[in-house]
Structure 1
Amino acid sequence: MRAPWARTPGAPDRRRLAWAPALAAPDRVLTLLALALSAMGLLLVWSATRMEGDHTLLVRQAVAVGLGLALMWLVSRVDLRVLRAYVPVAYVLALVSLAAVLTPLGVRVNGAHSWITLAPGLRLQPSELAKVALALAFAVPLGELRDGQRRPGFGGVMLALALAAAPIGLIALQPDLGTMLVFAAMVTGALLVSGAPKRWLLVLALGAAGAGAAAWRLGLVRPYQIERLLVLADPGADPGGAGYNAVQARIAIGSGGFYGKGLFNGEQTAGHFVPEQHTDFVFTVAGEELGFAGAALIVLAVGALLWRGLAIARRSDSLYGTVLAGGVVSWIAFQTFVNVGMTVGLMPVVGVPLPFVSYGGSATVAGLLAVGLLQAVHRTRAAA
């Protein structure tokens, strides 16, 4: 039986290029969860930066949230088949921007050449927006089956892996280990939900292991990255050096107890004992000021958002929608696990933000765009 998605292999129907008012209502729970997490992020960023006496970071984050919500709404209003038509454009732009980072336009921050300066004080991290492009592009070969196919074949899987290899390779040159891991999680999740033969997951795992070994031998793994992996086993071995972030993060979270010290009342937060506490380590602010109850509420809210995303993937009428939603869910789930895990000592410090909560314009806009993609899958399916 011909896959529903295969009906539009060529130019898109011009009647579908307009916003689609006939689409079903959005998933309101999904929208509310994204709004709640973004609002909580603004409060935590405010708390983490308030002692500096300058609200610039808070204002920037608020602008990013506003822009992200606007783009989320716009994407959710577009028929998924229209989005599919512009996947090549999004993918090429993502590769160009990732390559631009490696030119003199790029800026090195915290050991990674991952940003482009657009204006004084305004930077863009292309790897964050590339996650959106990869989610869209990776779903094409896995979600558009030929006549007689019930699951992706050899050609589809190989094309999908090739599409993923290009941005991952460019990110490896930055180098940005955290984002590379997120991309790998997206690929794995998309393969799982697509129904591809399980042997491909084994091939992917072996390939990742081989790539890691090659990176080690070629010296692509930086000394500070090796130190972060070693510190995971014993953060107290170097509490004033490589283990400082992990030790201070545990102290901040542990000091909050069950109910916390109250918003804006965190002593560790006010003293800036935890580096990057408004970005990668924003969860420590929640742990100290809101306690276990508040931190757990954030994790539960992300979990509920992921549950809605999985439900959307399961109910999609097209395999393309299922794979797209699966990739987005894998992205947000893995990034949340790594971010929370590194603040409580379960994962090495690899520098990934907490979705919707951490400070960062590019990451915030990309996360809300991802929710817009989930809404597009939901509304297209519901209107079919």
Structure 2
Amino acid sequence: MDIDWPLLTGLIGLCGVGLLLAYSASGGDARALHSQGARILISLLLLGVASQVPAPWLHRLAAPAYLLTVLLLVLVEAIGAIGQGAQRWLELGPLRFQPSELAKLAVPMMVARYLSDRPLPPTLRDVAASAALALLPVVLIAAQPDLGTALLVTAAGMSVLFLAGLGWRLIGLFGALAAATAPLLWFYGMRDYQRQRVLTLFDPERDPLGSGYHIIQSKIAIGSGGFYGKGWLEGTQTRLHFLPESATDFVFAVFGEEFGLLGAIGLLLLYGFIIGRAMHIASQASDGYGRLLGGGLVCTFFVYVLVNIGMVSGILPVVGVPLPLVSYGGTSMVTLMLGFGMLMSIRGHRKLWPA
């Protein structure tokens, strides 16, 4: 088994932080610890399986994986289960899962395949085709609605385009188009609660007991940790249940309160090490597809971290993105570990990859 041990060590370290916080955020409930531990073991097992998939197979599986993902997203729209006001899940007997999570892998796989089979840097036609491949699942996911996952899938596809050598003129054109369509998105593409989240970003105190409550309590928790933190299991915002979603989306606030600025810097350094090591692996791939896919997966992981910490700190709107490999839950963890397993496959089989 060809495993990149420095990267795996970093990932296990993050999972260990997640175990500590699962126990703390649940108020010392051992069941949460056991449940999160089981998810970690399953995710690591899937990482090991994915790392043994021959790298050329990833290229061949890209189109089937993409088509299956789109089909499942259409089925969600037609017969998906509804929960918490959103239609995001498919139920197959006792199994309940979110097909949108598959898009985080299928979209970079498909866009990387399309671009790697053509001359680089991409032409305007190739850019348009790649953007269409990425935006089809994004539109289906946004309709669920799931703005956070739609953002991550967009980042996955666009990062592959950027790594393929997208020119700055085209980047500027995309930026201008985004700015021009922003008013249409605001008035016709966003729901009331989504617009409220954006307004809350600029003035959370306008509704301190309603839409601004999450972010106000989150910033109080982070600030009260000071430099060294209050200590593990000693966070009052969590223990007194002031901080909502403390085990999932806002787990970084729990970490900041208990381990302080010093601990937060250490956690960011650990994320930085994982991202740097993973990008190094992607850059060493001997084939364009491996480099584009690996780089796209790493960029998606980076956006995960950026968006979660940004929203918890009050500098980005709340969009429901978990802190990768630390937040309580299994679906996101499985997807991320499969992505890192694919990255290790690219590393371990690079000598067998056709030139």
User: TM bucket by the smaller chain?
Assistant: over 0.9
Tell me if the contact between 2:130 and 2:161 (Cα under 8 Å) persists in the aligned partners. no
1:243: Cα distance to partner? 0.6
Tell me if the contact between 2:186 and 2:195 (Cα under 8 Å) persists in the aligned partners. no
Between the aligned partners of 1:210 and 1:112, the Cα distance in structure 2 is 28
Instruction: State the AA in 1 paired with 2:50.
Output: V
CA RMSD of aligned residues (A): 2.0
1:34 aligned onto 2:8: no
Between the aligned partners of 1:175 and 1:211, the Cα distance in structure 2 is 19
Between the aligned partners of 2:216 and 2:45, the Cα distance in structure 1 is 39
1:63: Cα distance to partner? 2.5
Q: Which sits farther off after the overlay, 60-69 or 225-234?
A: 60-69
Instruction: State the AA in 2 paired with 1:132.
Output: L
1:102 aligned onto 2:77: yes
Q: Which sits farther off after the overlay, 344-353 or 89-98?
A: 89-98
Instruction: State the AA in 1 paired with 2:58.
Output: L
Deviation readout 1:59-115 (Å, 9 max, x if unpaired): 333222222111111111122111211112211221122223223332232x43223
2:277 alignment partner in structure 1: 308
Instruction: State the AA in 2 paired with 1:116.
Output: L
Tell me if the contact between 1:60 and 1:361 (Cα under 8 Å) persists in the aligned partners. no
Instruction: State the AA in 1 paired with 2:12.
Output: L
Between the aligned partners of 1:347 and 1:288, the Cα distance in structure 2 is 20
2:153 to 183, 198, 203: 183
1:113 aligned onto 2:82: no
Question: Structure 1: any 5+ residue segments left out of the alignment?
Answer: 1-20
Tell me if the contact between 1:260 and 1:291 (Cα under 8 Å) persists in the aligned partners. yes
Deviation readout 1:156-180 (Å, 9 max, x if unpaired): 3232212111100101111222222
1:271 aligned onto 2:271: no
Between the aligned partners of 1:295 and 1:271, the Cα distance in structure 2 is 22
2:210 to 241, 246, 260: 241
1:383: Cα distance to partner? 5.4
Deviation readout 1:183-229 (Å, 9 max, x if unpaired): 222223212211133333234334444554333333x3111111111
2:121 alignment partner in structure 1: 151
1:294 to 255, 263, 272: 263
TM-score by length of 1: 0.86
1:84 alignment partner in structure 2: 59
Matches within 5 A, 1:1-384: 25-50=2-27, 53=29, 55=31, 57-109=32-84, 111-118=85-92, 123-145=96-118, 149-218=119-188, 220-381=189-350
TM-score by length of 2: 0.92
1:256: Cα distance to partner? 1.2
1:142: Cα distance to partner? 1.5
Between the aligned partners of 1:135 and 1:243, the Cα distance in structure 2 is 35
Question: Structure 2: any 5+ residue segments left out of the alignment?
Answer: none
Between the aligned partners of 1:262 and 1:123, the Cα distance in structure 2 is 37
Structure 2 CA distance for partners of 1:123 and 1:58, relative to 1, 3 Å: farther
Instruction: State the AA in 1 paired with 2:23.
Output: W
Aligned residues: 353
Structure 2 CA distance for partners of 1:79 and 1:216, relative to 1, 3 Å: same
1:54: Cα distance to partner? 6.8
Tell me if the contact between 1:191 and 1:201 (Cα under 8 Å) persists in the aligned partners. no
Q: In percent, how many aligned pairs have the same letter?
A: 40
Tell me if the contact between 2:223 and 2:257 (Cα under 8 Å) persists in the aligned partners. yes
Between the aligned partners of 2:318 and 2:181, the Cα distance in structure 1 is 20
Structure 2 CA distance for partners of 1:383 and 1:104, relative to 1, 3 Å: closer
Instruction: State the AA in 2 paired with 1:94.
Output: T
